[in-house]
Amino acid sequence: MTPPQHRNSSDGGRKLESVLHRAHFKVALIAVALAALSLTVVGLLALRAYSSHNLLLLARSISYTVEAAVVFKDAEAALESVRLIAEPEEVLSVRITDRQGAELVNWENTQTGLQRRIEQLISRILQPDLVIMSIIHDDAPVGQLELVGNGKGLVSFLINGSLLVVACLLLSALGASHLSRRVLQEITQPLGNLAEVAHSVRYDGSFDKRVPPAGISELNELGTDFNELLDELEAWRASLHEENAALSHRASHDSLTGIANREFFHNRLGRTIRTAAEQGQRLALLYMDCNRFKHINDTLGHGAGDEVLKILAERLQNQLRKGDLVARLGGDEFAAVIFPCHHIDNVRTIARNLHEATSMPMELTGGHMITVSVSIGIAVLPDDAGTLDELLEYADADMYRAKRRLADAGQHISQT
């Protein structure tokens, strides 16, 4: 971002000493100080609010990532997951306990020195309170996560903001010493503009507003400094918004395949079922499982297994309509929601297309050619089930019937 250029005194602005004869030092200085303080407080409040939201998203992301590790009380896996997420972010410490209160993870930022002590001090004063979140598995709490953020971003903001505020106040003090009662209106108008912008930013969140140019060069520079500070706040806001969006996407999508995860799938399926009931339309649920996936992991390694899952996810997504949903439920299990579903035959056609697409040979890293098959179970609402649980149960049972038919037919995975 290119900072705004300061206007020189010769660019149409009059020198303060040429227009002021009697000073109103106290009035002008207090007005500018209040405006600077208001803008600084606005910045801190805005950053604190975004930091609080950011920490909450981080806590959700960590909670979802360590869910399995907490269920199996795998402290090492939980610590590694916490480290991968927390180290790049502004996190001071993360503590995870199981449902009995036993500590599984107690991770702290290893940064040392004066900078860390300053960040800890700022965090205690300005950072949002400790984030405490339950770790949920199958709609029941299995543990608890405690997350504390650090003040790294706030330290940077305070340093830059303080320098700008001090510079503004110094400039204002020099200008205020030459104020004249005779031209009081020429001073109050620019200050009124500045206070109005600060007020709009603080109470309305109007970060796009800027202080207009003033006819007096010193006050024009003051407004420019405030505008630059607003530019920094707006940049911080945009950066935090992008980071929050990325964290939100991470919390609702599978990290390996990039498609929706189990939690997002169940929430979306519940909403779609309600919509289908209200509109009197059918909804189809496809439950899919990769046959003998364990054999691939055992013979070629987990890296090959991950490649297979990525390819399967891509092929499944390519075969569905834009509005349909495909998700990875975990392991080698996938599911798809087809809505609206006008004809049952269309669902069977989609299932055949999915089966054919996923049965095409896959070339993996290292030159291995793999051919897998996918067993698909189909459940239609309201024909086969009337509720979410019934729909899932029916589709799961139909998928296992398909797997038994495949086993009876002697179908197998081939490897080249």
d(CA 55, CA 240): 11
Contacts of 358 (CB under 8 A, 6+ apart): 288, 290, 312, 315, 316, 372, 373, 374
d(CA 4, CA 281): 57
Which token pair is 192?
């009124």
What are residue 223's phi and psi, to 5 degrees?
-60, -40
> What is the DSSP annotation of 222-274?
HHHHHHHHHHHHHHHHHHHHHHHHHHHHHHHB-TTT-SB-HHHHHHHHHHHHH
How far from the centroid of its chain's Cα atoms is residue 256's Cα? 17
* Per annotation, catalytic residue among 225, 254, 324, 332: 332
d(CA 198, CA 165): 13
Q: Say whether 332 is catalytic.
A: yes
Q: Which residue has the tokens 């590694």?
A: 80
Residue 264 corresponds to which amino acid?
F
Q: Which residue has the tokens 């630059």?
A: 228
241-249: Cβ within 8 A, 24+ apart? 241/50, 243/54, 244/50, 244/53, 244/54, 244/57, 247/54, 247/57, 247/58, 247/60, 247/61, 248/57
Q: CB neighbours (10 Å) of residue 98?
A: 18
What are residue 135's phi and psi, to 5 degrees?
-95, 120
d(CA 119, CA 90): 10
* Residues classed as catalytic: 332
